[in-house]
Amino acid sequence: MSQLRFTKMHGAGNDYVYVNLFEEQLPAPPEKLAPLVSDRHFGIGGDGLILITPSEVADARMRMFNADGSEAEMCGNGLRCVAKYVYDHGIAKKDKLTLETGAGVLSVELETDGNMAKRVTVNMGEPILEAAKIPTTFDESPVVNQRLEAGGREFEVTCVSMGNPHCVIFVDKADDDLVLKIGPQIEKAIQFPARINVEFIEIISPTEVRQRTWERGSGETLACGTGASAVCVAGVLTGKLERRILNHLLGGDLELHWNEADNHVYMTGPAEEVFSGIWPVPHGVPLYSQLA
Query: So which residues are the catalytic ones?
Result: 75, 224
CA distance 48 to 45: 8
The verdict on whether residue 115 carries a ligand-binding annotation is no
The verdict on whether residue 14 carries a ligand-binding annotation is yes
The verdict on whether residue 76 carries a ligand-binding annotation is yes
CA-closest candidate to residue 247, choices 264, 267, 274, 263: 267
Q: 208: which strand partners? A: 205, 246
| Inter-residue contact 53 to 291 (CB < 8 Å) | yes
| Inter-residue contact 291 to 25 (CB < 8 Å) | yes
Q: Distance between the two ends of the chain, CA-based, in angstroms?
A: 21
The verdict on whether residue 154 carries a ligand-binding annotation is no
The verdict on whether residue 215 carries a ligand-binding annotation is yes
The verdict on whether residue 147 carries a ligand-binding annotation is no
| Inter-residue contact 108 to 74 (CB < 8 Å) | no
The verdict on whether residue 259 carries a ligand-binding annotation is no
CA distance 151 to 8: 36
The verdict on whether residue 123 carries a ligand-binding annotation is no
The verdict on whether residue 225 carries a ligand-binding annotation is yes
- Residues tagged in the binding site annotation: 14, 66, 76-77, 164, 197, 215-216, 225-226
List residues forming the annotated binding site for substrate.
14, 66, 76-77, 164, 197, 215-216, 225-226
